[in-house]
Amino acid sequence: MRIAQIAPLFEAVPPKLYGGTERVVSFLTEELVAMGHDVTLFASGDSITRAHLEAVWPRALRLDPNIRDTIGPHMLLLERVRQRAQDFDILHFHVDHMAASLFARQSVPTVTTMHGRLDLPELRPVYLGLPMMNLVAISQSQRATFPEGDFIATVPHGLPEHLLMPMPAEQNYVAFLGRISPEKRPDRAIRIARAAGIKLKLAAKVDKADAEYFASEIEPMLGPDAELIGEIDERTKPEFLSAAHALLMPIDWPEPFGLVMIEAAACGTPVIAFNHGSVPEIVEDGVTGFIVDNEAEAVAALARVPTLNRDKIRAEFIRRFSARRMAQDYLNIYESLLIPQTDRLRLVG
């Protein structure tokens, strides 16, 4: 199949640093190539891919301090895709609402994956007023926040099977992984680990926007038993996660997906997560981790971690959250859009 993947230009594909959307686009693109498809990736020129790269902009916008207008380059991106649309069987967009009007009036079928939260009040009238976009949600929870949306499927994210592998390690701490921000609740993680008498390691970056929160709320809570080790990269993650008894995910917001949960599972590491957003769709309570409602339950769950089987967690990751499964889900959608509307099956979600 001739497939166009259209990524945002904010980060390279894959991102040099943090960048959820571009990372997932990379996983999907490479997996589709590995499955023998003819894939073209529209992305920033510093992207790295085995697909054909259409470098719409020389480098990722977020790393270029001189870029003040980020909409313009995206308009150029869409124009390039529009000019080449007939070269493809399917156009898969990852740029929110920006492609809807332009691609509603041409014949190549389109799919748009929604990567962000959909509960912003300004999004509702936008999506309802725009033409049919064949939206794909990344979790049922995300989709439920916008029931009127034109969704044709839900496709959970996936990771390449061998990206993060379990490593032999003696588990002697619990892990917090991601960003230090109020909705991620690192404060809860610190209190939970402390109450359980287990050391906590926070592998997390502090964004400029969260510097004040970090300085006033989190930094004073740190200590020898709650250590901030900074941001870690893909290569360090397996070791960091494999040596953790469990990953703490005490979130306080409707996280639409939460890649970190499947990163932990890929390493066989249980996840103890608060019941928000996509958590119950990703964590299988009593199998790949525990779903809790408060800090006391989280402390109790930590005591039950030894009852979980890390090999089984890894197996569940491969079954449910591999990039191959994600790519196959999307291929089913692409194929459903190539057959006449009346025969179209809702194959996923």
What is the closest distance, in whole angstroms, from the C-beta atom of residue 191 to a second copy in the complex? 30
Token pair recorded at residue 334: 């692409």
Q: 16 with 311: CB under 8 angstroms?
A: no
What is the closest distance, in whole angstroms, from the C-beta atom of residue 76 to a second copy in the complex? 5
Which listed residue (16, 59, 80, 205) binds a second copy by CB under 8 A? 80
What is the closest distance, in whole angstroms, from the C-beta atom of residue 67 to a second copy in the complex? 5
Token pair recorded at residue 328: 């196959």
> Which range touches a second copy (CB under 8 A), out of 73-81, 84-92, 250-258, 302-310?
73-81
Q: Does 183 bind a second copy (CB under 8 A)?
A: no
d(CA 308, CA 285): 10
Query: Between residue 81 and residue 110, which ones bind a second copy under the rule CB under 8 A?
Result: 82, 96-98, 100-102, 105
The one-letter amino acid code at 49 reads T
In the complex with a second copy, the residue whose CB is nearer, 124 or 310, is: 124
Q: Does 169 bind a second copy (CB under 8 A)?
A: no
Token pair recorded at residue 301: 């769950």
One symbol per residue from 35 to 64: x for binding a second copy (CB under 8 A), - otherwise; what is it? Answer: ----------------------x-------
The one-letter amino acid code at 327 reads A
CA distances from 270 to 130, 137, 194, 256, 284 (A): 41, 25, 18, 20, 10
Which listed residue (65, 66, 147, 319) binds a second copy by CB under 8 A? 66
> Which range touches a second copy (CB under 8 A), out of 70-78, 187-195, 292-300, 328-336?
70-78
> Which range touches a second copy (CB under 8 A), out of 35-43, 79-87, 230-238, 336-344?
79-87
d(CA 194, CA 207): 25
Question: Nearest Cα to 142, choosing from 125, 155, 128?
Answer: 155
Q: Does 79 bind a second copy (CB under 8 A)?
A: yes
For 303-309, the CB contacts below 8 A with 24+ separation are 303/196, 305/245, 305/246, 305/270, 305/272, 308/270
Token pair recorded at residue 191: 């209190």
Which listed residue (121, 220, 224, 230) binds a second copy by CB under 8 A? 121
Which listed residue (122, 148, 170, 343) binds a second copy by CB under 8 A? 122
Q: Checking DSSP bridges between strand 2-6 and strand 151-154, what pairing results, if any?
A: unpaired
Which stretches of the chain bind a second copy, using CB under 8 A? 57, 66-69, 71-73, 75-76, 78-80, 82, 96-98, 100-102, 105, 120-123, 125-126, 129-131
